[in-house]
Amino acid sequence: MIRAVLIDDEVNALDVLEMQLNNYCTGVSIIEKCEGGEKGIAAIKQHQPDLVFLDIEMPRKNGFDVLSETRGVCYDVVFTTAYDQFAVKAFKYAALDYLLKPIDILELQVAVEKARAKKGNTGIEDKIKVLFEQFSQVQPQQSQRIALPVGDAMQLFVPDDIIRCESDSNYTNVFLTGSKKILLAKTLKEIEETLNGLSFFRVHQSHLVNMNHISKVVKGEGSYLTMTDGASIPVSRNKKEAFMELLRRV
């Protein structure tokens, strides 16, 4: 029996993964579901699991923090990630398993069987070290160019040329360096997904900002940001804690 811990900051993602494991993967005992990295670290140290399903993008303690703070525990890990193909190269190079969200059941079953085959020989110290090294190299490559739909064509942009994105109903205004602005026939959510894994954060329902273009942060009840183009962007109450934690890491 494989003893597993599930770690994700989204309750729905935890519930779906639990359902998939219970219904489609035999021989897996879920000993704890952890909402967030802090609870995940405590669970790993307490239960000493065989296998950990680990999300990466989490506030306060992300997936890499979990790995760093549990290096004394011997367990296998399967990343559950929304990172795109560029960052996935890091996982492949480090020979660590990963599942792209939304998780495919057949791929989940394969990952479980691989973990079962490795049970009792789950030292991952060297693999984690390689992963950290590779991930730091992959991210700059990922930032070179992205493609966004402009009119009937796909236009390439350097991500750091994008200062901020602002929702306009089912469209999005993208504000660029050099006082340029383009209108995309995409929702802000779709643009956010395209920029996932880069230096962008959704600080408000209507605003996605480039962390590299924040010039001032005003705290308090009505928190807001001043961007390098002079715009003042509000920070919503439910995004404030995650944003401040991310800001401390920049």
Contact present, 66 and 38 (Cβ < 8 Å): no
pLDDT in tens, 117-137: 877 655 566 667 666 665 655
Distance CA 72, CA 88 (A): 25
Distance CA 164, CA 81 (A): 24
Residue 106 has pLDDT above 90, yes or no: yes
Residue 86: per-residue pLDDT: 44
25: phi then psi, degrees, rounded to nearest 5: -125, 110
> What is the average pLDDT across 185-197?
87
Residue 246 has pLDDT above 60, yes or no: yes
Stated pTM of the model: 0.54
Distance CA 123, CA 137 (A): 24
Residue 89: per-residue pLDDT: 57
For 140, the token pair is 């700059």
Contact present, 111 and 25 (Cβ < 8 Å): no
Kind of pairing, strands 28-35 and 207-210? unpaired
172: phi then psi, degrees, rounded to nearest 5: -135, 130
Residue 148 has pLDDT above 90, yes or no: no
